[in-house]
Amino acid sequence: MRSALQVHGALSRGVFAFVVLVSLAVLFTPGSDVPAAPPGVDKLVHASLFAALALSGRWAGVRRTPLVALLVLYGAGSEVVQGLAPLDRDASVGDWLADVTGILLGSLLWDVRSRRRSTPA
């Protein structure tokens, strides 16, 4: 019997697709619909979101280098789009740096998890 949590399984791909959809909603919601939050919370949201993208992408079987590169570009592109008039949000290098931090953290966590699973007890 195969584990539901296996790497590259249907569940992992579904989770990755779900996290991508959540990221689209979070990153591209118009400014008027974004709830007010204390300073710094947006950086935590960005880092957490991109860590989830990196972790779920690796679980779904996306190779590290292409995933990291695409997520870094996705984060930069989202900031450019957020700065456009229709969304009425602020583009921020700080948010993009939080994205990159989350990507690196998620990738590192996946690598640590993978090493632990492959090490015999």
Q: What is the pLDDT of residue 4?
A: 55
CA distance 27 to 21: 10
CA distance 57 to 90: 27
43 pLDDT above the threshold of 50: yes
7 pLDDT above the threshold of 80: no
Structure confidence at residue 115 as a pLDDT band (50, 70, 90) = confident
Residue type, 70: L
Structure confidence at residue 1 as a pLDDT band (50, 70, 90) = very low
Q: What is the pLDDT of residue 3?
A: 60
Share of the chain above pLDDT 70, in %: 91
Q: Where are the domains of the chain?
A: 10-118
Q: What is the pLDDT of residue 120?
A: 63
What are the tens digits of pLDDT across the range 48-103? 999 999 999 999 999 999 999 999 999 999 999 998 878 888 899 999 999 999 99
Tokens of 35: 């709830």
Mean pLDDT of the chain: 90
CA distance 109 to 25: 25
Strand, helix or coil for residue 54: helix
